[in-house]
Structures are given as C-alpha cells and as structure tokens.
Structure 1
C-alpha cells in the first residue's frame, strides 16, 4: 500500500507533537493537524473501493493494513427538484448514510482506530451524541479493542442498540454530550484508555477529509461553489477544508478555486457556532440547555469552534439556524424528492441553505453540495 509520512503540528500555533497518543496542543490547547509531504497530481490512487483509496494522503504506516469496514466512496446524487426548491442552479446530496453504521462517523473512526491499534492502546473511550459511538463500537470490534461509549439517554434508541450489538460497554447518562465528554476524559485518565472525542485527537479528522477528496473526484477534480454541512462538533467541515488544501498543494484542483463557500447549519436550539458567527467572534461560548431533535447537532461546546469560524471567515461563509419545524419539513422534502432516507441534520442543512439564498447570502446560480451525515432510520424505533 502506498503511504505517506506525516508529522503532527498544532492547528493554531504550529507547535510540533508526538505521533502516538496525541491529544491537544501542549502549548495552547488547540487541535493538532497531520502534515504530509505534497502528493503531486498523477500519484497513483489505490485500486480499492473504500476511503483508503486515498492512502497517499492518510496516516498509514508502510505495509500497515487499516481497520476498515468498507467506509467511504459514498454516492453524490444530483437533485434538480431540490435545486429548484432551494433556489440554486445545481444541487447534489453526498449521502454519508451509506457508510458502515449509517453515518459519516465511520470514516473518522477507521483512521483513528487504525492509529490507536498501532499504538497499543488498552482501549478507547468516546462521548457521543449517537453516530460516533456506533461507529467506534463497530471499528473497535473490527480491531479487537475494548470500547466504552458514554451517551446521553436522549440519544436515538436505534443508535444505542447498535452500540450494544457491537459489544461495546455503553454508559447512559442524564445530560448532554458535554457532560459525557467530561466523564470520558476522567475515565481515560483512570483507565489508560484513549479518549477519542471530536478533534481532541488528530486522526478522526484525517478520515473525515476523505469526503473532500471524493467530492472533488466525483465532480471531475473541481470544487463546487458552495458546501453545506450540518454542524455539531465541526470535524466534517474542517476535514473537507483540509482535504481541498492538500489537493490544491499537489495540483489536483485548480488554483482558481481551492475552497467553496462553506455554509454551517445548526439547530436553533443548539447553535453556538452560528451565534458566534453572527457576533463576529473568533470562538464560541457554550450553549446552555441544548435542545433539538437532530441529535448530531446537540453539541453545546464544540472543540473545533475556532477552526470552523476561521474557515467561514476565509471563505465568505455563513453559519445560521433552522427551527425544529423547518428541520422536519425539509427532511421530509428531501426524502420524497430523492429517495434518500436522510437524518434530520440534513433537513437542517437544506433549510439553512434555502434561507441563505432568500437572504442573498448564497448565490442563486451556485452549484451546491449538501452533506447528508446520517440515516433517518437511526431516528425511528
């Protein structure tokens, strides 16, 4: 397998860090990023049909087999009907529900569990709003590793059932994912398990960035005008942004358009990034009493807030919210227009996109990719 060498550096202050058991920057507490040598256009991609097709851009050792369940290479589905409904020229749905465990979280866990297994971790612990826990349970099982998942009791029941079906230890708590995060860190300190929450370690986002590689390749190695991402922790948006930077460095995409305009969609009942964006702030304050049907958006204090807000500033982006009623309305509209059984997070994305077009913040002649991050089936008992 063709692999790349990499180093770890802080995303904010550029301080270097060790490769294994890597967490936040020791100097400033911000997330770490993997850096690679430039992968020039024409470098052979792997003849395999999962995200590890892009191994030259990923943290993999020579002759190392990744922990894989066939994640990635999800379809990009064009919908003229939805394009007309929201008021843009062309619109595609990138359907991440077709990943193992039915969400985009599979990508990040494939990369992170691969690195955790190589480092000989005794186990892995994660706080979750749902999909990350299901994905870690599956990839932990595939790697033969012990897994503890800490989830709010309000997490959709089908997701909790999936976690238990994969043999993970599931701890249900009263409270939200922020409370689960504190418990996960405490348990990691006590047990030696590796805490693998969003952007607290550097490898989950490496798996997430393969969405950006795929999107560009599926569009003929070009970048759309707009990317809309329903955002809780922020690793999806950050990953796509990082991927396009790496492609541009190697000449895979045109220097005339390296990044799209990013639209971050949040639920009105939990919108720390949208609130910070509206205030012109460079970081988000924690959201008190987060409430939304879209469990993946119920993240009151995202660790990636500074990165996401920076990306929005760099790309003339937009962060805005949708009501619960509008989330349900657009989720149903998406399903009936496309046959994609989308999670409510994607209904939120379409609602925010439509509002952005009406307000003149998103151009009507734009080509837009909207990410469906999970499956509607995960919300039905």
Structure 2
C-alpha cells in the first residue's frame, strides 16, 4: 500500500488528493510504500510504463488512458563517444514517446486518475511539453484540457496544444507565474490539478524512466538530467531509491543536474549561492526562475553524491547538432544540454571516461525546429505569398490596430507561420521605435498601436491607393 508522505518531515497525509501539501511544513508530498518487501513485477508483455503497474500507487484494472508511452530506447552513443573519448555513453531517447516527450508518461497516469476520479476538466501550467502531452491524452480520455502557458513557449509545442484542441491561457513571463495562477484557478473551478510539479503522481510516472534504465543497464555510474523545474531529477532519484530498497539494485547512480547559463536557480542552491540573475536563452524548457521543487532537487543531488553545472546556449547548439550527426538522434534544444555537459564534466574530471553515463534526451528536436536555420528561398517565398509582400512588422501593426492584443494572440492572428519568439522580437522592436506601446493586465502584457504607429498605417494606405 502507498501513502502520501512528506519527504522532509515524514508526516503522512492518508487519502489526500495527489496535489495536496504537507499539513505540517507545507512541502510537496510524495507517494511512499509502507514497505518494500515485495518484488517489482515487470509485465514483459506490456511495452509501456504500465509494465510497472505493480510499483504504481494506482490500482485501475480498466480504462487506462494510454498511447503506448514509455519503453523508449537507450542508445549506446558509440560515434559520439569516440569523439568525446568516453567509452560507455548512452542516450535515453524520450523523443520517441507519442507526442515526442517524456511528459507523455505523466499525462497517461494523470488523465487515468482524473478519469477514474470522475473529473471532466483537467488543468496544468506548462512551458511546453506537459501542455502538449496533456492536451493529447485529454482528447483520448474525452476530458477538457486547460493549459496555462507563460510568454515564452517553443512554438512547436504550442502548435501541438492547438491541434489537440486545448483551452490555452497565457499568464506570466515564466512558468513559475503560470504555476501560481493554475494553483488557484484549478482549485476555484474544481479542475483536476495535473501540473507535474504539484501532483505526486507525476513522480510515479517519471520514475519509470529509472526502471527502464535499470532493466537495460543495471545501475549506471552517472545519469545526466536537463533541469528546469526539477520534477524529472526528483523522479529518477525516487525510482532508483525504490529499486535499491526492494533489493533489486545495489547503490544509486550519481545524478547530475544541468541548467542553462542564463538561469540556474537549482545549481545556485546546490552550490550555496543565494542570488541569481535571469539572462536570455533559447533553452525555454529550462527557464524556471523559482522552481517549486528546488529543495527536493538539491536533496536528490546530495543523496546521490551528485553534481550540478551550467552550459551555454552555444555549447547546447553544438551538442544538438553533434548528437544528430553522430547518432541520428535529433533532440530538443534544451535536452541537448546533457550532451553539452558531458564534455565539460570530462574536462573538469567530474566523471571518468570509463563510467557508464546516461544522458536523458527529454524531447524531440521537431518541437524546436525554428532554432535550426534552413537555407534556401522556399521559406521566404512562402511568407511573401501569405502576406502579399507586406513586411512582418506592418502586418503586426495592422493586427494591433483593431484592438490591443497579447503576444500569443498576435501569433495566432498571423496564422502561426512564424515562430512565437520572432513575434515577440518584432513587438519589442516596434515598441523601441515608438510605433506601439504595452501595458500589463491580469498577468499578461498587452500591446497597442501608438499615435505614431497609426500615422504610419494611414500613410501606407494612402500610398497603396
């Protein structure tokens, strides 16, 4: 039997909802088995996360919401290993999941629980992958999905949410603010809370990655994890701890946290640094300013004698291309941070070249395709056909002339043919030129045409006549 227990003070919360907090210290709760004398029963006939149902706190015999998530390949990176001079390098390729990311594991378990708990609406805050996963699985379960996204979201992930028909709400600049908003919104409206950092079942879903690594490799020396909010890192720690407690594994791998140089609050906390600044990075999935799970993530690192480091966008881009060209694995930009970290860890002597080292590649590179420059005239020709030759900034001015809009709304009105990041870049430049102004309302930044912008549009109309 599993109980919800506080990982810090040890208080039990009995039959509470999986998104409940500790009544004593306010911490996130985690499911904990009363004892581990049973053996993990792996169903070899099931090739998804549900092969480990004996180790999950859900006991549903029917109506499992699944798209065959999990059981993703672990590829030995022989060519890349020769270049980096490391003999036992492996890539856990989570991009092979149904919607292209590790969050499909969470979506399967959370929608299943919501369905059996008779919820009709399911909600989450997400800066990309969880939103896409939840939107897909909610459709599968005939649930209504509500996704709160921050300003900065990879457009490939946003396109998935739109395609699956999710209700999308933009709130805040970073996902921290989105999480705060969905916490109150879901409570007020009686929606199932599926934000991974807030729901204890998400740790259960992601711990299956640890089980899959153990099935294939046993216990590796190092597992390198891209870290934004910290839920994957915490879940891997939980999974390997359970394997050790059940007597199935001897020891734990060193967990190594990787964050971007632009924003690294968990690295800072691990190193005892109190202050951090926010820079600019293309690794949007890693941009979490105030991680809910920072204390738990640091606990996981220290418990495994792990480490934490940062890498630059330049190194991440090189690693993404290198992984694709050496091993045929096209991973998301943020995910490639783990491969970028390998070289740095080797150079600094923090891992051994003979270590069995696993890099978690959390998502497919197709989700961040705009970060890869594609030469040729086709893309430019397409833009001219769609916009009748009008410059993008003029088109944006025309859209804003009707009424004030926030960035995501502008992007939707453009038809999604340019990246969301490009839209925000144009908006910033238009504001710098005095052609538009902006204001904040209800957590969103709205843009409106200035008098100068309207005079420009009028002049252009006169010229067109």
Q: Fold-level match, TM-score > 0.5?
A: yes
Give the conservation status (yes or no) of the 8 Å contact 1:46–1:52: no
3-state DSSP of counterpart to 2:200: coil
Structure 1 residue aligned with 2:31: 34
The counterpart of 2:3, out of the listed 4, 7, 32, is: 7
Count residues in correspondence.
Answer: 368
Give the conservation status (yes or no) of the 8 Å contact 2:42–2:52: no
The counterpart of 1:271, out of the listed 240, 246, 264, is: 264
Q: Greater relative contact order: 1 or 2 (C-alpha under 8 angstroms, separation 6 or more)?
A: 1
Structure 1 residue aligned with 2:50: 52
Structure 1 residue aligned with 2:240: 244
With over 3 angstroms needed to count, the CA separation of the structure-2 counterparts of 1:226 and 1:171, relative to structure 1, is same
Structure 2 residue aligned with 1:338: 327
d(CA) in 2 for partners of 1:189, 1:304: 20
d(CA) in 1 for partners of 2:279, 2:54: 40
d(CA) in 2 for partners of 1:193, 1:68: 21
Structure 1 or 2: more helix by fraction: 2
Structure 2 residue aligned with 1:353: 342
Q: Note the alpha carbon deviations across 1:65-93, whole angstroms, 9 max, x for none.
A: 32111100000000122223334221010
Structure 2 residue aligned with 1:322: 311
d(CA) in 1 for partners of 2:300, 2:84: 24
> With structure 1 as the length reference, what TM-score do the two structures score?
0.91
- The Cα of 1:40 is off from its aligned counterpart by 3.7
3-state DSSP of counterpart to 1:189: helix
3-state DSSP of counterpart to 1:206: helix
Structure 2 residue aligned with 1:225: 221
1:375 aligns with 2:364: yes
- Which is higher, the Rg of structure 1 or of structure 2? 2
With over 3 angstroms needed to count, the CA separation of the structure-2 counterparts of 1:314 and 1:341, relative to structure 1, is same
| Superposed CA RMSD | 1.9
- The Cα of 1:18 is off from its aligned counterpart by 3.8
Structure 1 residue aligned with 2:253: 260
Structure 2 residue aligned with 1:66: 64
> With structure 2 as the length reference, what TM-score do the two structures score?
0.75
Which runs of structure 2 are paired with 1:86-235 in the superposition (5 Å)? Answer: 86-219=84-217, 222-235=218-231
d(CA) in 2 for partners of 1:19, 1:141: 28
With over 3 angstroms needed to count, the CA separation of the structure-2 counterparts of 1:40 and 1:18, relative to structure 1, is closer
With over 3 angstroms needed to count, the CA separation of the structure-2 counterparts of 1:194 and 1:44, relative to structure 1, is closer
3-state DSSP of counterpart to 2:105: helix
Q: Structure 1: which 5+ residue stretches go unaligned? A: none
3-state DSSP of counterpart to 2:90: strand
